[in-house]
């Protein structure tokens, strides 16, 4: 038991989670804190009081890093304010829904900017310190739409396919230097991101009926995978996209 606890312990590590205020980012941040990590909570705005208080309840430290990721070019300079980060979770993301024939270029580019460009630039900025120290964990948040086409979300699908590719590309270059890069592909999770789907009775029934587990996921369902990929238990796991989807892809 002690060995297993040690294997998954994040004591002494600092984890940066983007988009930590709500949904999956909040749940992952709290899971990493419960496993022993101190947290750097990223938010678009400085409204992280609730999640910061929850982190402190676990006995861990919490600090904040505020940046709007819709202008990814600002990332290299803003990331210079960060101290050493042992675990980076690239979670922040947006979705814009409109049929491909009408999908505006602004929406397409906007989604690519937050969901892919920002992920590359932050991984590069934070990864530099990991490479210099010879250790680190980067966890991308991919999607079922890293594997499938989806409906009415061409920019999101393009970005999430890109995230899976970037995960493998960084993993290949950084594995020999002690940095593991992997991704979690959540299935259909009840968060703000999926509010419109859940509000549409036809789409809601289609989706629920196809999930072998028989229910939508909750953000907390991602906790175990996040702790695994952040801990030394995954030291020989590189470039993997781990589906946590109630069996959606298996169907």
Ligand X SMILES: NC(=O)c1ccc[n+]([C@@H]2O[C@H](COP(=O)([O-])OP(=O)(O)OC[C@H]3O[C@@H](n4cnc5c(N)ncnc54)[C@H](OP(=O)(O)O)[C@@H]3O)[C@@H](O)[C@H]2O)c1
**Interacting residues with ligand X (CB under 6 A):** 19, 21-25, 43-45, 68-70, 91-94, 114, 141, 143, 186, 188-189, 191-194
For ligand X, give the closer residue by CB, 44 or 177: 44
Tell me which long-range contacts 62-71 makes (C-beta under 8 A, separation of at least 24).
62/33, 62/38, 63/38, 63/39, 64/40, 65/16, 65/40, 65/41, 66/42, 67/42, 68/44, 69/18, 69/44, 69/113, 69/114, 69/118, 69/122, 70/110, 70/113, 70/114, 71/113
CA distance 84 to 128: 10
From the candidates 105, 156, 188, 236, which is the catalytic residue? 156
Tell the smallest beta-carbon distance from residue 113 to ligand X (Å): 8
Contact 84, 95 (CB under 8 A): no
Nearest distance in Å: CB 232, ligand X? 25
105 given a catalytic annotation = no
Cβ proximity to ligand X: between 144 and 175 the closer is 144
Q: So which residues are the catalytic ones?
A: 156
């Amino acid at each position: 038991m002690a060995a297993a606890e040690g294997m998954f312990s994040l004591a002494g590590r600092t984890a940066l989670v983007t988009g930590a205020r709500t949904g999956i980012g909040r749940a992952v941040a709290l899971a990493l804190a419960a496993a022993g990590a101190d947290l750097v909570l990223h938010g678009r705005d400085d409204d992280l009081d609730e999640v910061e208080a929850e982190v402190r309840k676990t006995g861990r430290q919490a600090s904040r890093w505020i940046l709007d990721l819709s202008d990814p070019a600002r990332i290299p300079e803003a990331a210079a304010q960060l101290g050493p980060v042992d675990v980076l979770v690239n979670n922040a993301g947006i979705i814009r829904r409109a049929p491909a024939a009408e999908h505006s270029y602004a929406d397409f580019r906007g989604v690519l900017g937050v969901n892919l460009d920002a992920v590359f630039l932050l991984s590069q900025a934070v990864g530099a310190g990991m490479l210099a120290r010879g250790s680190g964990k980067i966890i991308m948040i991919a999607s079922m739409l890293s594997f499938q086409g989806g409906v009415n979300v061409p920019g999101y699908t393009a970005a999430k396919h890109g995230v899976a590719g970037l995960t493998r590309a960084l993993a290949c270059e950084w594995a020999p230097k002690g940095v593991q890069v992997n991704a979690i592909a959540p299935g259909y999770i009840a968060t703000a991101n999926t509010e419109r789907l859940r509000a549409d009775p036809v789409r809601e029934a289609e989706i629920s009926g196809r999930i072998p587990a028989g229910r939508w996921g909750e953000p907390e369902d991602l906790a175990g995978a996040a702790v695994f990929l952040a801990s030394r238990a995954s030291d020989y796991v590189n470039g993997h996209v781990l589906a946590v989807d109630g069996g959606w892809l298996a169907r």
